[in-house]
Amino acid sequence: MLARDCYSLLRPIGRFGGRLAGRFILPIDVLSYLDRLLDPLTDALTPESASALLELRADAEVQARMEELRRKANEGTLTPDEDAEYKDFVEAVDLVSIMQAKARRFLSRQAA
């Protein structure tokens, strides 16, 4: 499951990109740029689409694959292809997490 913010599995931890405890980390600056780049999408949100974004979860097959890659990353046994696949997953989690945060803000403003 990609959990509430998608970050229960992978979370950027520092200001600098890299790898920490088997987790790939995007620099805060990159996340900020991505957040700003996605701002116009907030204008297209509806209560229904925002709620749907908050419900977005990985299916069981994706979850299992990511757990396997996470385990191998922690053990330092990822192949180059697996490393690329894992990095792609982390980037997707970042994107979804930013959109979910925007959806939560949108819904909280609608309720106010």
Using one digit for the tens of pLDDT, what is the confidence trace for 26-63?
A: 556 666 777 888 888 888 999 999 999 999 998 999 99
Provide the mean pLDDT of the chain. Answer: 78
Q: Which DSSP category does 12 fall into?
A: -
C-alpha to C-alpha distance for 64 and 47, rounded to whole angstroms: 31
Q: Which residues of 5-23 are buried (b: 16+ CB within 10 A; e: fewer)?
A: bbbebbebeeeeeeeeebb
Q: Where are the domains of the chain?
A: 18-111
Inter-CA distances, 108 with 44, 76, 81, 96, 112, Å: 16, 42, 41, 18, 6
**For the whole model, what pTM was predicted?**
0.67
Q: What is the pLDDT, as a whole number, of residue 9? A: 41
CB 10 within 8 A of CB 23: yes
- Name the least confident of 20-29, 58-67, 101-110: 20-29
Nearest to 91 by CA among 36, 20, 17: 17
